[in-house]
Structure 1
Amino acid sequence: MRALLVVNPAATTTSARTREVLTHALASDLKLEVAETQYRGHARDLAREAAEGGETDLVVALGGDGTVNEVVNGLLTTGPDPDSHPRLAVVPGGSTNVFARALGLPNDVVEATGALLDALRDRSERTVGLGLAAGTPGSPDEGVPARWFTFCAGFGFDAGVVGRVEQQRERGKRSTHALYVRQVVRQFMGEANRRRGTITLERPGGEPGTTEVIENLTMSIICNTAPWSYLGNRPIYPSPEASFDTALDLFALDKFSVPAVTRYASQLLASTPDRGPRGKHVLSLHDLTDFTLHSQVPLPFQMDGDHLGLRTSVTFTGVRRALRVIV
């Protein structure tokens, strides 16, 4: 099997020695080419070239969720076609590695490499669904290119947190869970006085040709799988039913007061695969194929933990069976 190993040399939890051991292990079973990323978006370019070349059977991403997202977008440049695109494999090298862990992979480079080699020998794979986000026709964001995401997107509060974390990392701070917690608090303090939400949800109604509209949402998280993220080793489940085998789930709040956020944050920390946050200010929707989120003011937007700037409108599509993954 001919494979391309895409390596992010800046990955949080890997070293040059670890990368060398991984490369040697994979080369013993594969016809392996190795490429290190050199700029933001390089992993996408490398994966696109591998898919367009037609000779690569497998692309292995060594890095965090951002590297995986770039590789996926490169593989799916021409759209989802599991039978013709190279398969994807992931070796977690970031600080959180949500996609890899949601697939059931060990959160350790060496153990994950062993699991990958076993899966290759056993020809073990699954086809997963993905999310697609694009600018909404008729909105100021109409021309924004569509982009795939593997496990989550966020419009509003959580994207603001991601943006704050990225700013701190650019200043030399390490990506730690403590850093995220501090930025959550700071983002909340900046939004705590907001009385009404600015986000409106539009989705197809129950009758053909109708549209359901839900207004005044204060935050929104879109999940393609569960868990949504991890705090240390604790999984967080805003949408426990979310799955790679269904379309998208939406978790949103319509109130952002201190008592409400305290209540629902506590529920998030105590969430399980069987129970997520509940209450009169929670909107929880499962298996959505198409919907749009609008905002009266530009809000931060993130996909797979990558801050993408401010948006006023984003259209989401859940695409089942989009990509084959070795697991």
Structure 2
Amino acid sequence: MRALLVVNPTATTTRPRTRQVLVSALSGQLDLEIVETTHRGHAIELGTRASRESYDVVVALGGDGTVNEVVNGMLADGPRPDLPALGVVPGGSANVFIRALGAPRDPVDATGLLLEALREGRRRSIGLGRANDRWFIFCAGYGLDAAVVSRVERARGNGRTATPGLYVRSAVAQYLGGPERRSTSVELKVESDDREPEPSGRFGAVIVQNCSPWTYLGARPVNPCPEASFETGLDLLALRALRLPSTLRTVWQILSPAPDPHGRQVLRRHDLSGFVLRSDRPLAAQVDGDYLGELTEMRFTAVPEALRVVV
């Protein structure tokens, strides 16, 4: 079985010696080509090459950002039946995608499960989302949460480690000091949906999920849209205002053992096939925890069975 292993050498939770053990285990079962990424976007280039050169499997060893880039490369020419399958060995801080699939977050255990799935020919087809021209696997955001991602990326650029504490501190700082709390500029328009669209109004922040959970704080799943699934369309949670009492109540609802965010300031939609978010001023945007910059429009589409995963 011909396979390409895309390794992020700066992955936060795997040391070089551990990565060597994992590579050796994979090499024993696969005709393996190994490439380490050297720059942002490199994994996109590698995923594109793998999809055009008839590899059977592409394995991403890294965090969710590496997986997102690999997937965007694999789907550069769109979904098709003969695309390679995707395997993942987690090496990041959160590893949301692999955990959402029910696989272990420990890289050694995950490699063992991956090798077992390869031997048994196990594959799972999952739906993905598109935000403008960017594919995403598990989440996207517009407004507050994307601005938090930007803060975290700047902190990591200054040598900080992406820990749950860093995300919490960045979220509090952005909420208190950013412009999102004082402005509700996002408009929602549902497209390609058989149901009657709700009056959208304006929103201060929007979270989009392709699966559940949205992310993790350590071992705790964070679930704004608990019904989201790889087998359905996209789910959405939008906050009409970011006033302190209502925001704290929504955060509490999201973090509860049985999450059910609701209230006058909350709009939730399930299983959407398409929608557009627009703002009269550029707002922060992110997909799968990767900051995209500030945009005035995000056009979302759900794509069923876009990718086969080895799991």
- Does residue 292 of structure 2 align to residue 293 of structure 1? no
Q: 1:205 to 1:86 in 2, by over 3 A?
A: closer
Q: Percent identity?
A: 52
Deviations 1:38-74 (A, max 9, x none): 00000110111111112x1000000000000000001
Q: For 1:98, which of 93, 96, 99 is the aligned residue?
A: 96
Quick check: 1:173 aligned with 2:160?
Answer: yes
Equivalent residue number for residue 248 of structure 1: 234
Q: Would you say 1:115 and 2:102 are equivalent positions?
A: no
Return the offset for 1:121: 1.2
Aligned 1:205-284 pairs, distance under 5 A: 213-272=199-258, 275-284=259-268
* Structure 1 segments unaligned to the other structure (5+ residues): 135-145
Shift of the 188–119 alpha-carbon distance from structure 1 to 2, 3 Å rule, reads same
Deviations 1:69-128 (A, max 9, x none): 0000010011011x2110000111000000010011101010100111111111111000
Give me the CA root mean square deviation: 1.6
Measure the CA separation in 1 of the matches of 2:112 and 2:166: 31
Q: Deviations over 1:170-219 (max 9, x none)?
A: 111111111111000001102478455111000138779x8655121111
* Structure 2: distance between partners of 1:196 and 1:72: 34
Whether contact under 8 Å (1:4, 1:59) holds in the other structure is yes
Give the corresponding residue for 2:40.
40
Return closer, same or farther for 1:271/1:299 CA change in 2, 3 Å cut-off: farther
Contact 2:188 2:276 in 1 (8 A): yes
Shift of residue 164, structure 1, vs aligned partner: 0.2
Supply the distance in 1 between the matched residues of 2:102 and 2:71 (Cα, whole angstroms): 18
Tell whether 2:180 aligns with 1:186. Answer: no
1-structure distance, mates of 2:13, 2:150: 21
**Residues in 2 aligned to 1:120 and 1:15: alpha-carbon distance in whole angstroms:** 25
AA in 1 matched with 2:115: L
Query: What is the total number of aligned residue pairs between the two structures?
Result: 311
* Counterpart in the other structure of 1:140: none
Contact 2:276 2:300 in 1 (8 A): yes
CA distance in 2: counterparts of 1:85 and 1:205, whole angstroms: 27
Distance 1:213 1:296, change over 3 A: farther
Equivalent AA in structure 2 for residue 224 of structure 1: N
Pick aligned residue for 1:306 from 290, 296, 309: 290
**C-alpha distance in structure 2 between counterparts of 1:153 and 1:80, whole Å:** 20
Distance 2:26 2:168 in 1: 37
The residue that corresponds to 1:77 in the other structure is 76
Tell me the distance in 2 between the aligned counterparts of 1:94 and 1:326. 19
Does 1:67 pair with 2:71? Answer: no
Which AA in structure 2 matches 1:322?
Answer: A
**Aligned runs of 1:124-139 on 2, under 5 Å?**
124-134=122-132
Runs of 4+ in 1 over 4 A off after TM superposition: 205-208, 210-213
Does the aligned pair in 2 maintain the 1:22–1:110 contact within 8 Å?
yes
Structure 1: distance between partners of 2:289 and 2:193:
33
Note the C-alpha offset of 1:250: 0.4
CA contact (8 A) 1:219 1:252 kept: yes
Kindly indicate whether the alpha-carbon contact (under 8 Å) linking 1:241 and 1:286 is maintained by their aligned counterparts in 2.
Answer: yes
Q: Hey, what's the Cα distance between the residues in 1 that align with 2:77 and 2:124?
A: 21
Match of 2:14 in 1: 14
C-alpha deviations, 1:249-293, integer Å up to 9, x for none?
Answer: 001110211111111111111153xx3211121100001111000
